[in-house]
Amino acid sequence: MKTHILLVEDDERLAELTAEYLRKNDFAVAIEARGDAAEARILGERPDLVILDVMLPGKDGFEVCRAVRPHYAGVILMLTARDEDFDQILGLELGADDYIAKPVQPRLLLARIKALLRRAPTTAGGTGGDSGELTELAFGSFRISQATRSAHLGAEAIDLTTAEFDLLWLLARHAGSILSRDDLLQQLRGIGFDGLDRSIDARISRLRKKLGDDPENPTRIKTVRAKGYLFSKHDWQ
């Protein structure tokens, strides 16, 4: 069964060229040109992955992402304007799993899609984990399972996107050690830190909120100045 992608893009020629390229690489691709229609299609069709442009008629990509994210567990890859850091950070804060700058390079888009699907728990093209091992970590009241791709704080399940889970698992697996932005980007996206990418910072901010960490003085995911982030082995009472 082919992986189903919904491409939400109002540039007709770009959409057709992108869809044709992805179909040649064995994906099933549907196209939607309007943001207001995309919301209903995402929730109705449940594609494995959504490629979501920001600038759309009806509703912009941010509005669509905000509306569907609480009800849609699939992967959302946003298309943002080149060098627009605000767009990239806002998309991640709203729950997008990743972003790619326009104009889109087809090979890069394909590589990013495959990487996201490998990490996704329920897609046709995903494997659901690093190696299929049943692995669980626990720190006080916090538990995270690689096997079920779930995390709990006490009795409460934590609602995480694919990208948020991957980052949280990586941090927890290295609890007590400092991981730099370069470390995190290399392992999560296969790219180095260029000094400008704010995706890790945006996800850390979202994770802190979901984990009940004080944003002004975080103790569960700590910022180590000029070095990176540290997941605490303690502070989970």
CATH second-level architecture of 4-119?
A: 3-Layer(aba) Sandwich (3.40)
CA distance 39 to 96: 14
Taking CA atoms, 93 is separated from 41, 136, 161, 164, 210, in Å, by: 22, 27, 11, 10, 12
The letter for the amino acid at 9 is E
* Candidates 3.40.50.300, 2.30.110.10, 2.60.34.30, 1.10.10.10; CATH matching 136-231: 1.10.10.10
CA distance 58 to 70: 20
User: Tens of pLDDT along 211-224?
Assistant: 999 988 999 999 99
CA distance 110 to 78: 14
- State the pTM of this model: 0.61
Predicted pLDDT of residue 97? 85
User: Tens of pLDDT along 117-140?
Assistant: 876 654 333 333 443 444 789 999
32 three-class SS:
strand
Quickly tell me which residue has 């975080």 as its tokens.
Answer: 218
